[in-house]
Structure 1
């Protein structure tokens, strides 16, 4: 009887986990181990680019790649993990509840935004969290020119000044002028509860972001608490109403709720603590990766972030190690010492830094060229070629 590695999720971590596991089982000529991906769609949705235009094109089909590498795909949404029976209950494409058994389970179900943190955010704010919601925002922005002229039409409020907030905020001034007319004066306002721009980054990186925002005309409201999002815009805790028909919510990232079904330690974002092999302590047959895993990247106390940069390598390591546990091979310790930041800053350009100290190496056009290379090539799946796919799925292959 065949053994099975069941991978929940087809995002960056899930896709690479499948390819890495398939690579190792193929190397050892083990046709008695199935690699199965369970996910709502057989496609990689390139979420880091959802702030861009033409969101509907930011999808990469996975079936051709899975077919040439021997990975099986099951369409459905995981709902319940039964760790004792070693199975996952899921809702299939026909909306029926059914079950998939496993010998090894890999959680790669990603994360989502919490829209219940502020009154009215779920009802009145847009977001870039999923393909469908990003499409809704893009369609709304494209139709702003059809709305009555006024401050609410011409003002976009971005809630949160993190990575996503900055990228969408700096993208919008040029796009809004294209839609509203070059003579228009659109406002883009970032509302941030912290006291400085980019508070978790280095001073050098913050200075670049501040300069880009100043030149683009992006405004910041620092130390601001949002009390409510409503039909008029946002109401700040101090009582001020900022009128806006376009409020974009970017804060409150949380790991997928399946992590709550395991009796294991989780962090404030719901991520499962994992060991150096990406196993969930207390469950020898369950691994976690990507946005659902709190994993040490090195021996200096750094922890993987909820970004595709870390998800890709976490996926490669976890797939390899899940296969190792069935092949009775020594697993690899997950390490990702190199860390870079490449932040898109709209028409101004971009900024690229290296190391956890975030030393700025490139800015403006040079950094923009690198950013485009990363987002249009590096983070995409390999071509549907078995040899190329397996070479790139090697966890020890160079990445960044």
Structure 2
């Protein structure tokens, strides 16, 4: 009987875990390993681009790729993990529940927006956390163009000045002009509890963010938090009231709730702490990867961030190592020393940095070309060709 590797999730880490596992099985000329991916749809949703227009097109199908690599697929959502019986209960789109067993489990279910108990947040705020919610925002912006021009209609408040908040805020001026007309006075306001714009980044990167924001007319409310959100705007803890028909929440993410079902140590973002082979300590049959894993990237203390850059490589290592444990092959310790940042800054351009100290290497249109190459090509699935896919899935091959 074949050993069964079950992968929960078909995002960046889940997809690459499956391909990497299939690659190792092929290298070992083994037909003893069965690989199955369980996810709500056989597709990769290109989440890093959800701040852009036409979000419904930011999906890459995986059916042909999985078929080419003999990767099984189950369409549904995992609901319960039992690590003692090594089973997963999942529900399909018709509501039917099924229990599937595993010999090794790769948890690659990603993350979701963190929603603190702020009055009105759930009822009135938009987000771009998932494809469906990004589509809701896009439809809302389209509908605004049919309404009379008012300061509230023409003002968007972005709650949170992290990576997603910055990319969305700097993209919004162009999105609003496309709907309301070039001569309409619009406002994009970022509410950030930190003392400076881009406070998590290097001085050089923060300076670029500030320059781009000023050039695009994006305003920042610093040292400020949201008190409440309602249908007509936001009230800040400072007492300021901002009238707005569009309030968008981008402040923080946390690992998928399924991590709570694993009896193991988690970090402040609910990610499972893993060892160097990405196994959950004390539960060696379970591997965590992507946004569900708190993993060291190098020997100097850096840890993987909740980005596709890390999710892709984490997936390759997790898939390889889970398969290796079933095929009696030595695992690879996860390492990802190189780190880059490429931040889209809307009509101003972009900024590209290298290293954990974020040294700025290029800006504006030169950096924009790099950003487009990354988000439109590099992070997409490989074509449904065994040789090409397996070459890309090698955990030790250079990525960035």
TM-score grouping bracket, smaller chain normalisation: over 0.9
Contact 2:165/2:250 (<8 A) preserved: yes
Residues 171-199 of structure 1: CA deviation (Å, up to 9, x unaligned):
01122112111111100000000011111
Residue 104 (structure 2) aligns with: 104
Note closer, same or farther for the CA distance 1:238–1:303 as it changes in structure 2 (3 Å cut).
Answer: same
Q: What is the CA-CA distance between 1:73 and the residue it aligns to?
A: 0.4
Q: What is the CA-CA distance between 1:217 and the residue it aligns to?
A: 0.3
2:249 maps to 1:249: yes
Residue 166 (structure 1) aligns with: 166
2:61 maps to 1:61: yes
SS in 2 for 1:126: coil
Residue 176 (structure 1) aligns with: 176
CA–CA distance in structure 2, aligned partners of residues 184 and 213 of structure 1: 18
Q: What is the CA-CA distance between 1:238 and the residue it aligns to?
A: 2.3
Q: What is the CA-CA distance between 1:32 and the residue it aligns to?
A: 1.9
Residue 312 (structure 2) aligns with: 312
List structure 1 segments (4+ residues) > 3 angstroms apart after TM superposition.
none
Residue 239 (structure 1) aligns with: 239
2:107 maps to 1:114: no
Residue 208 (structure 1) aligns with: 208
Contact 1:116/1:122 (<8 A) preserved: no
SS in 2 for 1:370: helix
Contact 1:117/1:252 (<8 A) preserved: no
- Aligned positions of 1:2-151 closer than 5 A: 2-151=2-151
CA–CA distance in structure 2, aligned partners of residues 173 and 144 of structure 1: 14
Q: What is the CA-CA distance between 1:312 and the residue it aligns to?
A: 0.2
Contact 1:298/1:337 (<8 A) preserved: yes
Contact 2:296/2:302 (<8 A) preserved: yes
2:301 maps to 1:296: no
Q: What is the CA-CA distance between 1:363 and the residue it aligns to?
A: 0.1
Query: How many residues align structurally?
Result: 400
Residue 192 (structure 2) aligns with: 192
- Aligned positions of 1:321-332 closer than 5 A: 321-332=321-332
SS in 1 for 2:153: helix
Q: What is the CA-CA distance between 1:97 and the residue it aligns to?
A: 1.5
CA–CA distance in structure 2, aligned partners of residues 134 and 301 of structure 1: 35
Residues 107-159 of structure 1: CA deviation (Å, up to 9, x unaligned):
00000012343221111011001101101111111222111221110000000
SS in 2 for 1:146: coil
Contact 1:343/1:371 (<8 A) preserved: yes
CA–CA distance in structure 2, aligned partners of residues 117 and 97 of structure 1: 32
Residue 396 (structure 1) aligns with: 396
CA–CA distance in structure 2, aligned partners of residues 313 and 82 of structure 1: 27
CA–CA distance in structure 1, aligned partners of residues 333 and 133 of structure 2: 37
Contact 2:53/2:175 (<8 A) preserved: no
CA–CA distance in structure 1, aligned partners of residues 117 and 125 of structure 2: 12
SS in 2 for 1:151: coil
Residues 283-337 of structure 1: CA deviation (Å, up to 9, x unaligned):
1110000000000000111000000000000000000000110011110010000
2:359 maps to 1:359: yes
Q: Which range is displaced more, 200-209 or 235-244?
A: 235-244
Unaligned runs of 5+ in 2: none
CA–CA distance in structure 1, aligned partners of residues 117 and 59 of structure 2: 29
CA–CA distance in structure 1, aligned partners of residues 273 and 119 of structure 2: 31
Residues 72-112 of structure 1: CA deviation (Å, up to 9, x unaligned):
00011001101000000111122112111000000000000
CA–CA distance in structure 2, aligned partners of residues 178 and 84 of structure 1: 55
2:347 maps to 1:347: yes
SS in 2 for 1:150: coil
Q: What is the CA-CA distance between 1:200 and the residue it aligns to?
A: 0.9
RMSD between superposed Cα atoms in Å: 0.8
Q: What is the CA-CA distance between 1:239 and the residue it aligns to?
A: 2.1
Contact 1:20/1:319 (<8 A) preserved: yes
CA–CA distance in structure 1, aligned partners of residues 26 and 117 of structure 2: 46
Residue 258 (structure 2) aligns with: 258
CA–CA distance in structure 1, aligned partners of residues 178 and 263 of structure 2: 52
Q: Which range is displaced more, 141-150 or 264-273?
A: 141-150
Contact 1:255/1:269 (<8 A) preserved: yes
SS in 1 for 2:198: coil
Residue 275 (structure 1) aligns with: 275
CA–CA distance in structure 1, aligned partners of residues 283 and 340 of structure 2: 32
Residues 321-379 of structure 1: CA deviation (Å, up to 9, x unaligned):
00110011110010000000000000000000000000000000000011000000000
